[in-house]
Structure 1
Amino acid sequence: MRRFPLLFAGLFAASLTLAPLTTVHAKTPADQLIVGMSMINLLSLDPAAATGLDVSEVNANLYDMLLVQDVKQPDQLVPALAESWQVSDDRRTITFKLRDGVKFQSGNSLSADDVAWSLQRVLKLNLALASTWKAYGFSAENAERSLRADGPNTFVVELQRPTDPQLVLNTLATSPSAFILDRQAVLKHEKNGDLGAAWLTTHAAGSGPFILNDWRANDVILMARFDGYWDGPAKLKRIVMRNMTESQSLRLMVARGDLDLAKGMAAPDIEALSHDDKVRAQTVQRGTLYYVALSVKSKPFEDARVRKAVRSLIDYQGINQTVMPHYGQLNQRPLPLGLEARLDDPGYTLNVAEAKKLLAEAGYPNGFKTTIRVLTEPPFINIASSLQATLAQAGIQASIITGTGNQIYGAMRERSFDILVGRGGGGAERHPHSSLRTLVYNPDNRDEARLSNFQGWRTSFFSPELNSLIETAEVEPDHAKQLAQYQQIQQRLDEQVGAILPVSQMTDTVVLYHDVQNYQGHTAATTRYKDVYKAR
């Protein structure tokens, strides 16, 4: 029983020898947070290259952003490294006043040059996370003049095309690429003009409340408190994240107090803990949607009546009641729940008779054969199995094709699929345009356009009317008019029967040992551990 504190004290010894956590049978140290999570998708810590929810949560504790979404009211943006910001009257320039006295973990002082260089670097490296910035008109060529320092404490964003500044501010508050780097520290490790990319894969150079001590891929991440943090030191001394992929192991270890926090646990194991007073679950809403996608290039689905029939053959209520607990929450609109512009759900239900009528009108009185592509993991495969059964009730015989993420979404990017059960959307940006741009907008429907970042293009759904409405709403300065435009878009999309049919909005559930206090999961996956402590 005495081995556990000694084990974690030893984590920071020179040898950094790690004993198996599964042999431990005691409470975790009072001044450390021990997290169990899967790290299989954690490939790089470099903010310019790091995609995925898990790495966002890691980097949110190593780095800072200019501003952040309020953890309890994500529609509200609050200061971080920037103490204030101002949008020009023509809505083309955003000026940030930086906080005085901020130090990086290296001891270097934060300046506007660090902010400008960090964001310019994303565009110059031109990796996947640059796509959002390029959608605003930024590029490697214009980065230095459009994202620039104006003195030591003033940072300026000059928009390269008309857009809603609020959308750009949300990107700065949520994008995994918007963390601010210690320019001097990174450039000391630059090799062959890579802007420090190789070094930042496994190291960090930030101003966040914790310092990265060590990262071993698919093994462990160790962080120690940064006592010089500009907003005061964290309550805990250390964060230890362990790679754990087995849900039952997570369940057993958090139940007996060997873990403080378990992420990625399967729904049955979360349910099994629901009556254990030593643990509690916390569910956080994400901005992405689980959906059924139809390829308009596949002959049956080019007919809106067939798409409408499929929409009537999804058991929305059954799926959300039996499959989606701890994975998602019913949402039949392309916009995230809670957005001011979002219309109420249209109330779609499973209606086989209506579907059969629509199929007969479209020339398929006996249905047809098709395929459903899907990942093998829950809840995707469960949604697909439900869909297969309800399609069959109207004569549509669907074979399920499973595969890896590259195989399933690769087919979608190549526009080579019939039906696909997937997940996507605008992510954490609390703005209607973010989701509509991702799920509906398709400015060029030609195969050779290769607009694979637009899921509207992937489905071959092409509506010049909706494209125009989305473009107009994005730049509308009058808030009330903009809200009305976004509501009109949802109505017209409903009438035209878009090719992406939302089923549920993603949620994440973490399980906490009972003495962990002040943990608040963030909708943007930028959960910060600074104020977390243990009540002992």
Structure 2
Amino acid sequence: MRKMPSVLAACALAVSLIGAPALAKTPSDQLIIGMSMNNLLSLDPAGATGNDVVEINANLYDSLVELDPVNTYKVMPALAESWAIADDKRSITFKLRRGVKFHSGNPLTAQDAAWSLQRVLKLNLALASVWKGYGFTAQNAETSIQAPDAQTLVIRLPEATDPKLVIYTLATSVSAVVLDSKKVMANEKDGDLGRTWLTTNEAGSGPFVFNEWRQKDVLMMTRFDGYWRGAPKLRRVLLRHMTESQTLRLMLERGDIDVANGMSVPDVEAMKKNPAIVVESVQRGNVYYVAMSVKDQKFADKRVRQAIRSLIDYDGINKTVMPNYGVFHQRPVALGLPATLPEPGYRLDVPAAKKLLAEAGFPNGFKTSIRVLSDPPFINIATSLQSTLALAGIDASVIPGTGNQVYGAMRDRSFEIIVGRGGGGAEPHPHSNLRSLVYNPDNRDEAKLTNFQGWRTSFISPEINALIEKAEVEADEKKQLAMYQDVQKLYDQQVGAIQPVSQMIDTVVLQKDIRNFRGHPAATTHWRDVYKQR
């Protein structure tokens, strides 16, 4: 392990609990964030999964476009000053702004933007799946994504799709940030396109420059004075690994941190009564879910999946576990969209579950396992599920772990039950969550569609796939809406392998003197305009 640089050591010491005075204040030009880093595994935008790394990379890099955090139907310019969709809807042309510099000092060009997207497809890591869903591949990347000059990027759609979906993905996916191709390739090893180096480094043009990351300890970044929007007001942002809600609460009350993520429900409720603290929540498109692997013979039986669906205490979980984390929701399409059907009304029904299990040949239940992150609310949902499964004779052991252990097992399709969270984030389109949670165009193991959580569960429905594909390119909005509603009805009838329990709410607790900290539904919360009013 490398020795902590003096600047990081000094900064860490400044916010240390040891010897800190009561009612201390963090430095006025620094933002100190307490959060769990258990699911922070890599900084490489091509393979970075999880909301934590999305927020970090949103501040180290820039994207072509951004979504308005309040009106997520509104796409705003970023590196691209303008864009146009071709009349045949098969290509999008972006005009990039001039004068943008990477942290290295290299000029940012359309060639860098093209190379960055091509790299995602060539590496074929988790975040390539969304692009493959639009028909892009490693083989067609260079012909489909081109930069005819330094300020022009042309994306040609290999397959017919709604171009708005591609633009939404460019605005919300961390895979779409623009990398300094020269800097990355200077650190390439054995043809890895800089993957090893980017695990713990960055090559961006964003408002902050990465300094140091000590896993499960601390990550620091400092202001980029040459930022094209103007230098941020904050000189430094420091992320501290904290998994205990009580510790987060204590440090907020003492003034040792400015922002806390992942606090427990009782602690958040208590902090709402503190006049020096502000609690802010934003609804995201992701859902908390119970997922079953159809590769497991038990869950390949529709009746067993239906029994599990009847053994989830939706009301109890949402009333006792999910306040400040999520709101009751049982559909794969996010709340608030015109296509979203009313809740189906699933409830805990032990007699119905027992009957289904007996019909499936399990009158006495069976043994299984539930993989889950050790953080709240995941572990709390899993514990509730364990107890309700037992009511029907299902003996489920809970296996807590890190993001790599839990979602890694899911990506490898080597699990039985997982309590997780996923979806399309903030893309204001039904296809977003359906693509992530339901769609599975190729169920072979070697397809490795790891960012499709439907693929991870091995659940495949040719009928549902065909309807999703048809709806994606339907120009008539009323017909398209009806198709997306039909998808939800079919998923209900066929008992899909992922059962939503609650739609995500991201709750942050922060000091009252923080200004312009606005949580983003896509997890791309920007710190470039944040400051402290003291």
Q: TM-score, normalised by structure 1?
A: 0.88
Matched, 1:399 2:396: yes
Matched, 1:24 2:20: yes
Q: 2:442, 2:199 → 1: CA distance?
A: 35
Q: Which residue of 1 aligns with 2:366?
A: 369
One-letter code aligned to 1:314: I
Q: Which residue of 2 aligns with 1:3?
A: none
Q: 2:291, 2:39 → 1: CA distance?
A: 24
Q: Which residue of 2 aligns with 1:5?
A: none
Q: Which residue of 1 aligns with 2:170?
A: 172
Q: Which residue of 1 aligns with 2:264?
A: 266
Among 281, 287, 290, the residue aligned to 1:289:
287
Q: 1:165, 1:365 → 2: CA distance?
A: 48
Partner SS state of residue 374, structure 1: strand
Partner SS state of residue 177, structure 1: helix
TM alignment of 1:156-305, pairs within 5 A? 156-296=154-294, 298=296, 301-305=299-303
* Deviations 1:34-87, CA, capped at 9 Å, x for gaps: 222233433433322333222221221121100011111223221111111111
- CA RMSD between the two structures: 2.9
Q: 1:107, 1:535 → 2: CA distance?
A: 32
Shift of 1:359: 5.3
Describe the shift of the 1:275–1:210 C-alpha distance in structure 2 as closer, same or farther (beyond 3 A): same
Partner SS state of residue 239, structure 1: strand
2:372/2:418 contact within 8 Å kept: no
Q: 2:125, 2:357 → 1: CA distance?
A: 44
1:295/1:301 contact within 8 Å kept: yes
TM alignment of 1:43-82, pairs within 5 A? 43-82=41-80
Q: 2:139, 2:447 → 1: CA distance?
A: 22
Partner SS state of residue 115, structure 1: helix
1:11/1:18 contact within 8 Å kept: no
TM alignment of 1:115-126, pairs within 5 A? 115-126=113-124
Deviates more, 1:501-510 or 1:402-411: 402-411
* Deviations 1:182-235, CA, capped at 9 Å, x for gaps: 333444444554444444333333221222344444443333323332223322
1:384/1:400 contact within 8 Å kept: no
Among 309, 312, 315, the residue aligned to 1:314:
312
* Deviations 1:338-378, CA, capped at 9 Å, x for gaps: 22321121222233454455556x36695522424132623
Describe the shift of the 1:267–1:102 C-alpha distance in structure 2 as closer, same or farther (beyond 3 A): same
Describe the shift of the 1:28–1:351 C-alpha distance in structure 2 as closer, same or farther (beyond 3 A): same
Shift of 1:414: 5.6
2:66/2:78 contact within 8 Å kept: yes
Q: 2:80, 2:291 → 1: CA distance?
A: 40
Deviates more, 1:412-421 or 1:247-256: 412-421
Shift of 1:527: 0.8
Among 114, 139, 142, the residue aligned to 1:141:
139
2:389/2:396 contact within 8 Å kept: no
1:371/1:419 contact within 8 Å kept: yes
2:126/2:451 contact within 8 Å kept: no
1:45/1:203 contact within 8 Å kept: yes
* Deviations 1:459-491, CA, capped at 9 Å, x for gaps: 443322112111111222222221111011112
Shift of 1:319: 0.8
* Deviations 1:392-414, CA, capped at 9 Å, x for gaps: 44x33333242435555555556
Deviates more, 1:325-334 or 1:404-413: 404-413
TM alignment of 1:349-388, pairs within 5 A? 349-355=347-353, 358=356, 362=359, 366=363, 368-375=365-372, 377=374, 378-388=376-386
Q: Which residue of 2 aligns with 1:7?
A: none
1:372/1:421 contact within 8 Å kept: no
TM alignment of 1:365-514, pairs within 5 A? 366=363, 368-375=365-372, 377=374, 378-393=376-391, 395-405=392-402, 408-409=406-407, 412-413=410-411, 417-445=415-443, 452-514=450-512
Q: 1:381, 1:155 → 2: CA distance?
A: 44
Q: How many residues align?
A: 524
Shift of 1:301: 4.4
Q: Which residue of 2 aligns with 1:11?
A: 7
Q: 1:499, 1:518 → 2: CA distance?
A: 40
Shift of 1:265: 2.6
Deviates more, 1:141-150 or 1:521-530: 141-150
One-letter code aligned to 2:383: S
Shift of 1:307: 3.4
Shift of 1:528: 0.6
Please identify the structure whose Cα radius of gyration is greater.
1
Deviates more, 1:365-374 or 1:260-269: 365-374
% identity of equivalent residues? 61
* Deviations 1:483-522, CA, capped at 9 Å, x for gaps: 1110111122222222221111223222101111110111
Among 31, 37, 62, the residue aligned to 1:33:
31
Q: 1:52, 1:296 → 2: CA distance?
A: 24
Q: 1:411, 1:185 → 2: CA distance?
A: 33
One-letter code aligned to 1:182: D
* Deviations 1:259-313, CA, capped at 9 Å, x for gaps: 1112233333323323211112222333322222334455554454443343233
Shift of 1:94: 0.7
Partner SS state of residue 11, structure 1: helix
Shift of 1:523: 1.6
Describe the shift of the 1:273–1:144 C-alpha distance in structure 2 as closer, same or farther (beyond 3 A): same
1:374/1:381 contact within 8 Å kept: no
Matched, 1:332 2:330: yes
Deviates more, 1:38-47 or 1:362-371: 362-371
Q: Which residue of 1 aligns with 2:533?
A: 535
